[in-house]
Amino acid sequence: MRYKILLKTLKVLIYTKRFFWWFGTQIFFVLGKAAAPGWRVIGLVHYKLDYLMRKISGVAGLDGQLVKRDNLQIIIFIILFVVALPQTKLYAKKDVSLPGQKTVAYSLTPNDEDYSVEEVTASVATDFENTANPAWKTGVLSQDQFTHNSFETIELGTVVAGGTALSKPTILSGTIVNGVREKTVDYMVEPGDSLGSIAARFQISINTILWENNLGINSYLHPGDKLRILPITGLNHTIKKGDNLKKIAALYSASIDEIVKFNKLKADGSDLVSGEKILIPNGVRAAQKSTVVPPRNVARVATPPSSKQLPTVSGYVWPTAARVITQYFTWKHHGIDVAGGTFSTPNYASKAGVVEKSQCGWNSGYGCVVIIDHGGGIKTLYGHNSRLLVNAGDYVDAGQTIALMGNTGNVRGRTGIHLHFEVWINGVRSNPFRFVK
């Protein structure tokens, strides 16, 4: 059966070759017919010039004259002169066609007048520039990175001065102008948006968006999705029977005065109506319990210290304490395997970021896996761990211990203890050696 398939394949290749051979000869035949008159004219002109040169010089024809050194130098000089001529003053002329050049104001203005430009610099004292992790760089941030006073209300309607230009700013839809927005608005997700960029645009925390839209830390945004955006950082609460201001404030670690002021309630909360929603300014949901379960065959151990190595020029550190590379990045192996360790060998966060996934299970063969989002479309993956030491949503620093090396997932035998390390750029796996050394 295999030989029949091979024979048919060879026949197909032979007939394909014959077709292209016939097709090529026909093409050259047609082109030759079309170019023949022009080629004959060129040959005739060449023959006449060659005959004339031989008659004048008596020694060399046209071809002989072209290869002479003196003639070549003259030809090169002429070509350079023609190319450089537009750049010289010989070719320059005064342009009188400019708009306004014939006006009285133009004639009264000296040609050699120097204009001075006064540098105007305006600055607004805000805490935004001092934020350790700017929102527009990060896909998902922790609660403490966005608080109600991380952004001050800026008078966008005034003139903005920067450098030597004065211009009116473009006011984005949904931003705060001259006060605090009081109503919830709907926002349509656009290409290139992330949770961090949307939160920064509306000056609220990322958790506010997650809670209001029932999203998780691992949720994906798609262009066209509709998000409900609260006016300030916080969350909505549906009033239940027996609720009072003190109980609600304690539940969300919020201020009674802020709840009363924003929702325009009575100070004693006597106008609370069961079933209605109120907004809890700067409220925080109770932290959810971690769902990470370590493998049964791994005993509880103390977390090893962080990496002592410094980040490289690109800002990344080597992702584990071991150094033996057992497999490199190839077209079918989308990462590197680093072995030489034991179940207690620490694996490190290669760069600072937010833990997007920390989960044990099969996970497409990765076993106990950690995925960290570094912002800007860059993520790193750490597979086959024996124990996970971080949870989804945690912010980790470069070199922080995030897991212990193992052989979970698609790995066999104790000798297979290693770290599988990948780097994703906008969802495409890239060679990790572009980032770590």
- What pLDDT does residue 91 have? 56
Using the CB atoms, write b or e for 368-390: b if 16+ within 10 Å: bbbbbbbbeebbbbbbbbbbbbb
Question: For the chain, what are the domain ranges?
Answer: 2-70, 128-229, 234-281, 324-434
Which amino acid is located at 269 in the chain?
G
Query: In Å, what is the CA distance from 306 to each residue of 250, 310, 312, 321, 351?
Result: 36, 11, 16, 10, 12
User: Which pair of structure tokens corresponds to residue 127?
Assistant: 């805490």
CATH superfamily, domain at 128-229? LysM domain (3.10.350.10)
User: Which pair of structure tokens corresponds to residue 71?
Assistant: 């003639």
CATH dotted code for 324-434 = 2.70.70.10
H helix or E strand, kind and range, residue 235: strand 234-238
Rounded Cα distance, 122 and 219, in Å: 40
CB-based contacts of 201, cutoff 8 Å, min separation 6 = 172, 174, 175
CB under 8 Å, gap of 24 or more: what pairs does 270-277 form? 272/239, 272/243, 272/244, 272/245, 273/239, 274/239, 274/240, 274/241, 274/243, 275/238, 275/239, 276/238, 276/239, 277/236, 277/237, 277/238, 277/239
Three-class secondary structure of residue 371 per DSSP? strand
- What pLDDT does residue 96 have? 53
Residue showing tokens 């989960």: 359
Rounded Cα distance, 121 and 165, in Å: 10
Q: Are strands 368-375 and 353-359 parallel, antiparallel or unpaired?
A: antiparallel
- What pLDDT does residue 135 have? 47
Yes or no: say if 335 and 366 are a contact pair by the CB < 8 Å rule: no
Rounded Cα distance, 351 and 419, in Å: 16
- Tell me if domain 128-229 and domain 234-281 are identical in fold: yes
Q: How many residues does the chain have?
A: 437
User: Which pair of structure tokens corresponds to residue 180?
Assistant: 């605090």
Q: How many CB atoms lie within 10 A of CB 236?
A: 15
- What pLDDT does residue 117 have? 46
- What pLDDT does residue 226 have? 87
CB-based contacts of 120, cutoff 8 Å, min separation 6 = 161, 162, 163, 164, 166
- What pLDDT does residue 92 have? 53
Three-class secondary structure of residue 7 per DSSP? helix
How many alpha carbons lie under 13 Å from residue 251 in its C-beta half-sphere?
15
Q: Residue 204: phi, psi to the nearest 5?
A: -130, 175
Yes or no: say if 279 and 234 are a contact pair by the CB < 8 Å rule: yes
Beta bridge partners of 380: 372, 423
Residue numbers of the chain with a pLDDT score lower than 70: 1, 57-67, 88-180, 216-221, 286-303, 308, 310-314, 412-415
Helices of type H across 216-323: 245-252, 256-263
How many alpha carbons lie under 13 Å from residue 183 in its C-beta half-sphere?
4
Q: Tell me if the domain spanning 234-281 has CATH number 3.10.350.10.
A: yes
Rounded Cα distance, 156 and 166, in Å: 14
Question: 413 in the Ramachandran plot: left (φ > 0), alpha (ψ -120 to 50) or beta?
Answer: left
- What pLDDT does residue 95 have? 54
